[in-house]
């Protein structure tokens, strides 16, 4: 009886030491500090202009530039299983081109697809969509050195739905500013 008890105790000790060695019992609850509060915007009245000027918080220049980019550059959309630029989207690309001519910096054209089809097929289709937009912009006169393309296939849907309305939103090219 003592040998069985000794064996059981030995087994418990070995298992306990094994678990302790892997850190299961030694993990501490790590308290995470709350993120710092976002800096507040300051409102300043310029005396000579008598108008209110909103001063963005420090470090918000990149965010402001991205917001200005988003306001000036729009995405384009594609028909199912196609990568041809539609007439309405050609008008969007012309506006995007005008904005890019007036503003410096590189732009990434991101090709996207809906969830239907294989990963490989959608990556290839997304790349064709991004390349079609790049070619169109180059034909308008855009500097090819300022344009970069990438395909995300079906990996970055904007609408997670599983219907035609969601799929139509996901068949798109996004335009992202690069530093």
Q: Please write the tens of the pLDDT for every residue from 11-55.
A: 666 665 555 554 434 333 444 444 455 445 444 444 444 444 444
pLDDT of residue 104: 87
Tokens of 172: 């798109």
φ, ψ of residue 128 in degrees (nearest 5): -65, -40
CA distance linking residue 94 with residue 164, whole number of Å: 27
Specify the higher pLDDT residue, 81 or 28: 81
Is the pLDDT at 165 greater than 50? The verdict is yes
pLDDT of residue 28: 39
Highest mean pLDDT among 45-49, 80-84, 101-105: 80-84
pLDDT of 58-67, one tens digit each? 454 455 555 6
Tell me the CATH architecture of domain 74-178: 2-Layer Sandwich (3.30)
N-terminal to C-terminal alpha carbon distance within the chain: 75
């Amino acid at each position: 009886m003592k040998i069985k008890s000794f064996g059981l105790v030995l087994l418990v000790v070995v298992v306990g030491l094994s678990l302790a060695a892997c850190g299961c019992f030694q993990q501490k609850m790590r308290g995470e500090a709350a993120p710092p509060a976002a800096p507040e915007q300051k409102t300043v009245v310029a005396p000579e202009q008598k108008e209110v000027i909103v001063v963005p918080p420090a470090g918000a220049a990149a965010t402001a530039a991205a917001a200005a980019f988003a306001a000036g550059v729009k995405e384009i959309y594609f028909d199912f299983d196609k990568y041809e630029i539609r007439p309405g989207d050609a008008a969007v690309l012309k506006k995007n081109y005008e904005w890019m001519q007036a503003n410096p910096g590189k732009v990434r054209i991101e090709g996207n697809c809906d969830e239907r089809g294989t990963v490989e097929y959608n990556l290839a289709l997304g790349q064709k969509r991004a390349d079609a937009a790049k070619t169109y912009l180059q034909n308008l006169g855009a500097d090819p050195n300022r344009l970069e393309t990438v395909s995300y296939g079906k990996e970055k849907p904007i609408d997670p739905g599983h219907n035609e309305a969601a799929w139509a939103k996901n068949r798109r090219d996004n335009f992202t500013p690069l530093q």
